[in-house]
Structure 1
Amino acid sequence: MFAEIATARLATFLLLMGDTSVLSNWPYQNNLALAIMMTLFLSSTTIFILNVFIGLFSEAMNFDVETSMLMMKAKFLAEIEMFYLFPSQRRWKSLFPETIYYYADIREVREKIKQMFDNKEWDSDKFPEMKQNLLKILNIKNPQDN
């Protein structure tokens, strides 16, 4: 098997793939088509599996990237507020309003509230008036009222 360079490369490749049958005395030179098909199959399967793993990993990273981007933005704004502004500037309502309004899609908000109900995260006593107003605006029945 390791007598010629071509069969030695094939045997090394197959050993790396976990095929120990190359150690037996099977003449690959007589079955060249089978050796080529086996090599192509192993190569294409390896590439396919690596692509699947890369796709799954990139999906997992996209969620973390968005979260870390928002955290980095918040830290950056806090640093600007703390180190680059005078105390009198920090009190300006035009720069730092008490309420900040964000745009949110109604369907996404309803799904998030449902998810919070299912995970028992809505039970906290933080901002009770705001939560009741939000449920009233979105026409969602509070399951705790039952």
Structure 2
Amino acid sequence: MYWLINGKPPLWIIGFSNLLLYFKFLLFFRVFEPFGVYFVLILGVAKNIYIFLVILTFIIFGFAHAFFIILRPTNDDKENDPFNLATKYNSINPDGTINPTPTLIQLPNSNTNMFDWFPTSILAMYLILTGDSGSLSSWTYRETPTMTLLLVVFTFFTTIYLMNLFIGLLSKAIEDYDKHEEFLLQKAKVIMEIELFYIFPCQRKNKDYFPDWIYYDVPANEVRRLINAIDNNQTEFDIHTPIISEKLRKLVNIPEPVNGKESNEELKQQIKNMQELLNKFIKNSNGSKNDKIKE
């Protein structure tokens, strides 16, 4: 649209458009189980660990600000000026001594001192987090002890401690979302999105697409397992808990859950009746009492 109205767009728009287009193609594979399982893991894990990423972001910003204050060039301190940090080349005299006056100086660029601008300071700390400490190569560790101390603290608490903790959280989140039910839930959301935004009203009225009744074949043991999980509050639903009819409970032979004071009274009465029946059985039966109780 930008191209048709304003002519050829900038290259960065073309680059990002192509990148987003590939992401869009990837989303089409969500409904296929071999690919959809990985989408469930990627999106589900991201939801679980985003708080950890927020904490890590604040830590990176804090250290970036500290390095920015220490290593930025100021009017009083010219040592951090990019021209003073640039690589210098000295010539060698005929007698083998080194000329103290630099003969050649490499022109500095924006990467010579990444801590003279706060946004590049943040980028430098991110690179250090990934193991690239090239942004600090212009300084020596002995002559800048404050920088060395901050670097040691940052690498220990983030690269060593927090990153290993992050890997542990990823493993736990993957175990929680590595389930077939999570893929089915994602597939249902994709179908819902299609029904809401990608079909016409005439298609919504088509009984082949939207029948009045839908029948499912489900093994009885799976139904019992789900009903028991619902009764014991061992399941979570995004919208509402399914309604289990009395007819379905009788069909799979699962009674209503025992909840509330009235249900407890009924249970006590049933236990009392069973005790009375047991006493009558023992009284009217031959043999020792202990044998009958064991029986």
Please indicate, yes or no, whether the TM-score normalized by the shorter chain is above 0.5. no
TM-score by length of 2: 0.25
User: In proportion to residue count, which structure has more strand?
Assistant: 2
**TM-score, reference length from structure 1:** 0.45
Name which structure has the greater RCO, CA cutoff 8 Å, separation 6+: 2
